[in-house]
Structure 1
Amino acid sequence: MVHIDPFDVSDEAIDYSKLIKEFGTQPISSIGNLPNIKHFRRGFVFSHRDFDVFLNAIKKGDKTSIITGINASGSLHFGHKWTMDLVIALQREFNLPVLLTISDDEAYVTGKVKSQEEALENSKLIAAQLLALGFNPNKTKILVHQKYTKIYNLAIKLSPRCTMNEIKAIYGFDMSRNPGQWFYPIIQAADILLPQELEGKHHVLVPIAIDQDPHLRLARDIAERAGYIKPATIHMKFLRGLKGGSKMSKSKPGSAIFLDEDPKKAVKLCMQALTGGQPTAEEQRRLGGDPDKSVVIEYLGAHFIDDDNEFKKLVDDYRSGKILDGETKQLLARHVESFLASFQPKVEEYKKDIDSYLMVD
């Protein structure tokens, strides 16, 4: 049985239609006229809560914004980039302000880093990487909890709006958890509701992977009780790990390509990625490959081939045996190496003055 929560995802194959029922969300297909963005066109976004309400607010000219976040356990990887690319596309499509929160405190209280100092250094790296991905600096705020400690005041303000029983029911915590972990869900709710606290009541969208949905459930409940508008959310499918499994993850060695990886080493990782091919080249030419099984095809479609017709041709050629696994791996490797070679110098430039981009008390 697949286990999914904000702190752990088991490595079995995921049936996303079952998750919609289990989490009580709505299929994204229930909404017509979705944004013309690759993530929607290709089914990378599969579920939502009130995304239709958010889109209607944009259509009416009501105030809207986006918030999403990341854990500060280390460098971003291509799985994170996948979600952030969607947020950037939405920001550009609708000219939306974006708040990016980096949870250095969560990394510390859950033991993902050894010290708060390490979490802060990771946060600064992540902030530079986020900006280098293409967020508009003039319409993007970045919040690191050690730098913007007012978030804790908001968490205290919100804490009477829920009970320990609710946290236990949503997260499954028991008394083996430390107090920081018990309080952290309220800090997450504060992150999600901060745009309305600072800018007044308005419609907020939170793009996330489905494992983070418990944070949204709690934040939506608290929002209703505290007089905010319930935040909407869209759920991304996980980007599978290099060798398969449920997701690319920092905690699963060998499953991820990190954005600070040496480009030459990244090429080698690409050549080790899972494919959907046959045991021999001759058999693959005759029988074709399975593009749904191939992580290589998945990565190419998620990150590098934006044109739908071009991607369809790649998939069809792979399925028919016209393209072999070695060719798809080499194509992915070239794209990854080129991306990292141009991306990493941008990160270094942002790191020089990163404190100027962070929210402060």
Structure 2
Amino acid sequence: MSEENKEPVSVEQAQDVADQSVVNPWEVTGIVDYGKLIERFGSTPIDDALIARFEKVTGKPAHIWIRRGLFFSHRDLNEVLDKVEQGKPFYLYTGRGPSSDALHFGHLVPFVFTKYLQDAFNVPLVIQMTDDEKFLWKNITLEDCARYTRENAKDIIAIGFDINKTFIFSNLEYVGTMYPNILRIQKCVTGNQVSGIFGFGGSDNIGKHSFPAIQAAPSFSNSFPHIFGDRVDIPCLIPCAIDQDPYFRMTRDVAPRLGYLKPALVHSKFFPALQGYQTKMSASSTDSAVFLTDTREQIKTKINQAFSGGRDTAELQRQFGANLEVDVPYRYLTFFLEDDEKLKDIGDKYASGKMLTGEVKKILIDLLVDMVQRHQEARAAVTEDIVTAFLTPRKLAF
């Protein structure tokens, strides 16, 4: 069945995906069945054949997050690979909703993967800072939103993006350039449709109702005239967590009516909160995540308190082993431990009882401390002038 012929999925309909889980752009709770989520959202799983084609087209090994199934679903990734084989351009688009001074490890996932894609395909990238969204949804002043944008941009830049191929933009500053496309999108979507897709009600402020069009606009290349001119024939690929998919289902529905190309997407699974899969990481809750500003002692404390799938005692752990599916430290290792053989060895020993919970947590602590220290060093080198340069509309290498 084609995507267009599938039953539309609203936020409310997505809430019964598995075990009363809730999946929408603002809330993720419960243990998510990703297979059922693919079925409900109408996306396509990333299979071995697509991974093999990806490697053939790029000439590079697939990222560990693709091979391990952490980026697990897509829309039209094959068509992007067709474009590459034909020597035709595309660009990347991802974003961040700045609501705190620092990012946590869950925020890193789409950006680290996006950098991999930028390097693999050698393409331009636009990064939307949705400071307007955070003002509408949270009790944050516009001044704080603007400050968070610049602070979060420093963390993003520290990941290593190429300034010659990367444009970071604040909606508060750049929305005027996108406004013609925002209007075109808004004219195509009724109030009933946006309420059905996103679950907005009569008590929600009108800014929430209009925001989806703002998040949709960067999907179209002529929203960036300083990069692409007035061209509308350049597709974009959007790496994001699957909870952001409702925005782009709406965008893909609107695109043909405007004579634009549908954006392609690649979806990640959710990075679990320290308390386990029943909770969501929050930038406003320092206990739910490891932040890039945390000290060694803070990281050690947080990981030692993280939800474990191990047994209550060492004796029981040796007898029965751990449940890897719910063990947060092990799940973190699947994201950040690059050595496949070492990860498998840890998983086998931990599940069989040959390794104790404390041993697994120690491995993770050392890994995260090293990552945070390297990130903090890179971030310290990002000056205000560098941030301004990334945020300045300009031509990119394209």
Q: Same fold (TM over 0.5)?
A: yes
Q: Comparing 215-224 with 239-248, which one deviates more in the overlay?
A: 239-248
Equivalent residues in 2 for 1:251-330, closer than 5 Å:
254-303=287-336, 305-330=337-362
Q: Could you tell me how far apart the structure 1 residues matched to 2:189 and 2:217 are?
A: 12
Q: Could you tell me how far apart the structure 2 residues matched to 1:94 and 1:194 are?
A: 17
Cα 1:264–1:81 shift into 2, 3 Å: same
Q: Could you tell me how far apart the structure 2 residues matched to 1:347 and 1:179 are?
A: 37
> Given the alignment of the two structures, is residue 29 of structure 1 paired with residue 47 of structure 2, yes or no?
yes
Q: For structure 1, which runs of at least 5 residues remain unmatched after alignment?
A: none
Cα 1:325–1:195 shift into 2, 3 Å: farther
Q: Could you tell me how far apart the structure 2 residues matched to 1:274 and 1:228 are?
A: 46
Equivalent position of 1:85 in the other structure: 112
1:14 corresponds to which of 32, 37, 52: 32
Equivalent position of 2:8 in the other structure: none
> Given the alignment of the two structures, is residue 158 of structure 1 paired with residue 179 of structure 2, yes or no?
no
Q: What secondary structure, in the 3-state scheme, does the structure 2 residue paired with 1:137 have?
A: coil
1:48 corresponds to which of 74, 78, 82: 74
Q: What secondary structure, in the 3-state scheme, does the structure 2 residue paired with 1:53 have?
A: helix
1:332 corresponds to which of 335, 357, 364: 364
Q: Could you tell me how far apart the structure 1 residues matched to 2:64 and 2:190 are?
A: 40
> Given the alignment of the two structures, is residue 213 of structure 1 paired with residue 245 of structure 2, yes or no?
yes
Q: What secondary structure, in the 3-state scheme, does the structure 2 residue paired with 1:143 have?
A: strand
After superposition, give the CA deviation of every residue in 1:241-270 in whole Å (9 maximum; x if it has no partner): 111025433255522112222332122111
Asked whether the equivalents of residues 51 and 234 of structure 1 are also in contact (C-alpha less than 8 Å), the reply is yes
Asked whether the equivalents of residues 264 and 337 of structure 1 are also in contact (C-alpha less than 8 Å), the reply is no
Q: Could you tell me how far apart the structure 1 residues matched to 2:222 and 2:349 are?
A: 46
Q: What secondary structure, in the 3-state scheme, does the structure 2 residue paired with 1:350 have?
A: coil
Q: What secondary structure, in the 3-state scheme, does the structure 2 residue paired with 1:202 have?
A: coil
Instruction: Give the structure-1-normalised TM-score.
Output: 0.93
Q: Comparing 100-109 with 21-30, which one deviates more in the overlay?
A: 21-30
Q: Comparing 24-33 with 181-190, which one deviates more in the overlay?
A: 24-33
In the alignment, residue 238 of structure 2 is paired with which amino acid?
A: V
Q: What secondary structure, in the 3-state scheme, does the structure 1 residue paired with 2:238 have?
A: strand
After superposition, give the CA deviation of every residue in 1:6-53 in whole Å (9 maximum; x if it has no partner): 1222x2111111111111212222853244111110010221111111
Q: What secondary structure, in the 3-state scheme, does the structure 1 residue paired with 2:382 have?
A: helix
Asked whether the equivalents of residues 148 and 359 of structure 1 are also in contact (C-alpha less than 8 Å), the reply is no
Q: Could you tell me how far apart the structure 1 residues matched to 2:308 and 2:142 are?
A: 40
Equivalent position of 2:156 in the other structure: 130
Asked whether the equivalents of residues 196 and 228 of structure 1 are also in contact (C-alpha less than 8 Å), the reply is no
Q: For structure 2, which runs of at least 5 residues remain unmatched after alignment?
A: 1-19, 56-61
Q: Could you tell me how far apart the structure 2 residues matched to 1:84 and 1:197 are?
A: 20
Q: Could you tell me how far apart the structure 1 residues matched to 2:324 and 2:222 are?
A: 41
After superposition, give the CA deviation of every residue in 1:116-167 in whole Å (9 maximum; x if it has no partner): 1100111111111011112222211101112223233431243223222221
RMSD of aligned residue pairs (Cα, Å)? 1.9
- Offset, 1:360: 4.4
Q: Could you tell me how far apart the structure 1 residues matched to 2:95 and 2:204 are?
A: 23
- Offset, 1:356: 1.8
